[in-house]
Chains A and B, each alone.
Chain A
Amino acid sequence: MRRPLLRLVFAVALPALLVTVWWVASAGSTDVYWPPLRTILEAFPDVWTAERLRGDVLPSVLRLAGGYALAAVVGVALGTVIGSYRRVRAVCEPVLEFLRAVPPPVLVPVIMLFAGIGDTMKVTVIAAGCVWPVLLNTVEGVRAVDPVMAETARSYGITGVARLRKLVLRSASPQIFAGLRQALSIGIILMVISEMFAASNGLGFTIVQFQRGFAIPDMWTGILVLGLLGFLLSVVFQWVERRVLGWYHGLRASARRSP
């Protein structure tokens, strides 16, 4: 019973400390751009009403979900093809290196030209940024399938779709999840940026609106919401990962016990 309690204390200690520091440091602040935390927290429930959550947070989250899902599917599918065939890899590698090096935010103006300023543009921007870590990690994961396991599958006639589902993707899944994790934080950044360029709703749009209207405490609450959203998504991600990669963590723990 003491263990989980102790873990909770450890988890909460640093955030509590930081909030306290912020609270104390900003307590007497008269600077317009740097309002006391107290003021920000008081503004919070007034700003983030149910209506605003529905009107601004939900569209943002849906765009993120759409772009992220698209990136995951495309990244894993292409990555599996590229990772499986040496020839394809030789052809694609230079192009991939180039595309990966392009910072995703610069894609926003370009994609706006083709996809307009609606939701399609935002989903495309998020997908275009998120796809690279998923793709490149999938390629590495698929390439690294253990030769003994591959031979085992072959000797038992496990080929085609069964081989892909039961061997290749499962074996690459720890790498794929590493890519998905990176993609998640890139996705949140691109969600906000794409909404700052051209939008009529969304979290990024709202924060910029507050800033332009000199509603500084409201702007700060928007940043807090973004932080909370990121935290929540990461908790969900970890929960999914623990389910899917339970075997991997167990395997690693058992390897550590008996080297």
Chain B
Amino acid sequence: MLDVRGLKKVYEGSGRRVEAVRDLTFTVGAGELVCLVGPSGCGKTTLLKCVGGLLTPTGGEVLLEGRKVSGPPPGMAFVFQEYGRSLFPWMRVGENVELPLRQKDLGKARRRELVRDALESVGLADAVGAYPWQLSGGMQQRVAIARALAYEPRVLLMDEPFAAVDAQTRADLEDLVRGLWRERGITILFVTHDIDEAVYLGERVIVLSASPTVVREQLKVDLPVERDQLHTRVDPRFAELRTHVYEQIQAAKKGVVAS
């Protein structure tokens, strides 16, 4: 579904050369939910923007269903961390969700249907007529997720989407994402710095090294598909996986100091 091959990104500017991503290769299968986790500042956002076609990589390539990504492809939707700056404050919730659909060749009735369906899926059917700034942070991020869903992407890219919401809202949103993933069978690539979140959400966790980034380890999460905040998080297997990822990330951080 999604192939990342030898991805490399170097920022150059004002005499400074920063190698953010060195050499990344991984694949995401159709219908998979993969979490990317790495130490802070390891170029996760850069990586995701390259995958989404928002940044041009310095080397390597990204393939979506075999086709090279050279700009934002119509089959991908992005959910940003800064929900407050990603929704347009001059549009009501319904218009925000509908806006990307206007670029597609869809009839008005179909657009309406997609908007309603997407907002229902995130539990915000009543908020169609509200402005984003009238909603809480968690609700705004739900709207951003609904906008992505209505776009009917084959791949959903999520860039630390819950980093700015409180812990309880975050737990709800995590369950929402897992629920949507199971219901709709979309492929999700989820970037986070939160180890627990990565293990709880992902079917597979890709641990990244510190910047310049390479893949440090890929880990299959062999927890049951049915997960919930209460039981999954006290599962001994969850604790093992979490500890393992934690160790890997600690080692990744030390690796930087050593080199």
Interface size class of chain B, counting residues whose CB lies under 8 Å from the partner chain: 20 to 34
User: Is B54 in contact with A151, judged by CB distance below 8 angstroms?
Assistant: yes
Q: Does B57 contact A (CB under 8 A)?
A: no
The answer, among A155, A167, A254, for a CB contact under 8 Å with B77, is A155
Q: Does A170 contact B (CB under 8 A)?
A: yes
Q: Does A251 contact B (CB under 8 A)?
A: yes
Q: Does A27 contact B (CB under 8 A)?
A: no
Closest A residue to B147 by CB, please name it. A156
Closest B residue to A252 by CB, please name it. B133
Q: Does B76 contact A (CB under 8 A)?
A: yes
CA distance A171 to B134 in the complex (A): 18
| CB within 8 Å for A170 and B90 given contacts A151-B54, A155-B72, A155-B77 | yes
Measured between beta carbons, the chain A residues less than 8 angstroms from B72 are: 154-157
Measured between beta carbons, the chain B residues less than 8 angstroms from A146 are: 85
CA distance A250 to B90 in the complex (A): 10
Q: Which of B7-15, B99-107, B187-195 contacts A (4 or more CB under 8 A)?
A: B99-107
CA distance A248 to B90 in the complex (A): 7
Closest B residue to A245 by CB, please name it. B90
State the Cβ distance, A247 to closest chain B Cβ, in Å. 4
Q: Does A162 contact B (CB under 8 A)?
A: yes
Measured between beta carbons, the chain B residues less than 8 angstroms from A156 are: 72, 77-78, 99-100, 103, 147, 151
Q: Does A233 contact B (CB under 8 A)?
A: no
Q: Does A166 contact B (CB under 8 A)?
A: yes
The answer, among B49, B53, B131, B151, for a CB contact under 8 Å with A247, is B131
A-contacting residues, B78-103, CB 8 Å: 78, 80, 82, 85-86, 88-91, 99-100, 102-103
B-contacting residues, A134-162, CB 8 Å: 146, 148-149, 151-152, 154-158, 162
Measured between beta carbons, the chain B residues less than 8 angstroms from A157 are: 72, 74, 100, 103
User: Is A250 in contact with B134, judged by CB distance below 8 angstroms?
Assistant: yes
State the Cβ distance, A166 to closest chain B Cβ, in Å. 6
Measured between beta carbons, the chain B residues less than 8 angstroms from A251 are: 89, 131, 133
Closest B residue to A151 by CB, please name it. B54
| CB within 8 Å for A158 and B54 given contacts A146-B85, A148-B86 | no
Closest A residue to B103 by CB, please name it. A157
Q: In the complex, how many residues of chain A place their beta carbon closer than 8 angstroms to a beta carbon of chain B?
A: 22
State the Cβ distance, B151 to closest chain A Cβ, in Å. 7
State the Cβ distance, A72 to closest chain B Cβ, in Å. 19
User: Is B80 in contact with A158, judged by CB distance below 8 angstroms?
Assistant: no
The answer, among B77, B102, B133, for a CB contact under 8 Å with A250, is B133
The answer, among A154, A167, A255, for a CB contact under 8 Å with B88, is A167
Residue-wise interface mask of A (235-251) relative to B, using a CB-CB cutoff of 8 A (1 in contact, 0 not): 00000000000011011
CA distance A254 to B53 in the complex (A): 34
CA distance A156 to B86 in the complex (A): 11
User: Is B90 in contact with A247, judged by CB distance below 8 angstroms?
Assistant: yes
Q: Does A173 contact B (CB under 8 A)?
A: yes
Q: Does B52 contact A (CB under 8 A)?
A: yes
User: Is B90 in contact with A148, judged by CB distance below 8 angstroms?
Assistant: no
State the Cβ distance, A127 to closest chain B Cβ, in Å. 28
Measured between beta carbons, the chain B residues less than 8 angstroms from A254 are: 133-134
State the Cβ distance, B73 to closest chain A Cβ, in Å. 9
CA distance A149 to B54 in the complex (A): 13
The answer, among B76, B88, B131, B134, for a CB contact under 8 Å with A155, is B76
Measured between beta carbons, the chain B residues less than 8 angstroms from A166 are: 88, 91, 99
CA distance A237 to B74 in the complex (A): 41
Measured between beta carbons, the chain B residues less than 8 angstroms from A152 are: 78, 80, 86
Closest A residue to B136 by CB, please name it. A258
The answer, among A149, A158, A173, A250, for a CB contact under 8 Å with B131, is A250
User: Is A170 in contact with B80, judged by CB distance below 8 angstroms?
Assistant: no
A-B contact pairs, 18 of them (CB 8 A): A146-B85, A149-B86, A149-B88, A151-B80, A152-B86, A156-B99, A156-B100, A157-B74, A158-B100, A158-B103, A170-B88, A170-B90, A171-B88, A247-B90, A247-B91, A247-B133, A250-B133, A254-B134
- Which 5 pairs from chain A and chain B are nearest by CB? A156-B100, A148-B85, A155-B78, A247-B90, A254-B133
